[in-house]
Amino acid sequence: MAAVSQLQRQFIEYATSLYNEGYLDDQFTQLQKLQDESNPDFVVEVVSLFFEDSEKLLNNLATALQQKIVDYKQVDSHVHQFKGSSSSIGAQRVTTVCVHFRNYCDEQNLDGCLRCLQQLNHEYILVRNKLEALFRLEQQILQAGGSIPMME
């Protein structure tokens, strides 16, 4: 059906742009390889866990940086976790901010940390919106009776 192939083309274009713009990297493709008929929702499930985890971490980071005496080890520990989970799902831009963030933690640079937290929030919301849009496209394809194209 024309509608299915159009949706599939849209999907490929959108996914490609996400990779090109650095929102996603190869690890996201790796996750898609782990999805099959026996585990058709694997990627959505992992990404949902990432969303939950991220929101908790962002809250913890905000709290930690608001303390009168900031415990940079604690801040670093949260960022380390965030770096790990974002890297595991291929959310490359989030991971990159985490790397800078950790440097500021090492320097105990509060300003730098606060700026990174802002950036982290921003990048997280961006990737979350884009992934949700991608998943919606997937659903549309499936509902139209088509299959989701595999990314190279």
Partner 1 sequence: MGMFSRRWRSPEFDDDDVHVLAVDDSLVDRKVIERLLKITSCKVTAVDSGWRALQYLGLDQQQEDDDTSPPHFVNVDLIITDYCMPGMTGYELLKKIKGSATFREVPVVIMSSENVLARIDRCLEEGAEDFIVKPVKLSDVKRLKDYMFGTTTTHLHTSPPNHNNNINKEDKATLNKRKLQEMSDASPSTSTSSSSPTLSPSPSPS
CB contact at 8 A, 146 and 7: yes
> How many whole angstroms separate alpha carbon 106 and alpha carbon 71?
11
Residue in this structure with the two tokens 């802002």, named with its chain if needed: 118
> Which of residues 6 and 48 has its CB atom nearest to partner 1 in the complex?
48
> Least distance in Å: CB of 7 to partner 1?
27
Q: Which residues pair with 36 in a beta bridge?
A: 39
> How many whole angstroms separate alpha carbon 127 and alpha carbon 13?
16
Which residues ranging from 106 to 135 are in contact with partner 1 (CB under 8 A)?
none
87 part of the interface to partner 1, by CB under 8 A: yes
> How many whole angstroms separate alpha carbon 32 and alpha carbon 149?
10
Whole-angstrom CA distances from 121 to 82, 84, 128 are 11, 16, 10
39 part of the interface to partner 1, by CB under 8 A: yes
40 part of the interface to partner 1, by CB under 8 A: no
> Least distance in Å: CB of 50 to partner 1?
5
> Least distance in Å: CB of 74 to partner 1?
11
Q: Which of 60, 88, 96, 140 binds partner 1 (CB under 8 A)?
A: 88
**Binding positions for partner 1, rule: CB under 8 A:** 27, 30-31, 33-34, 39, 42, 45-46, 49-50, 53, 77, 80-81, 83-85, 87-90
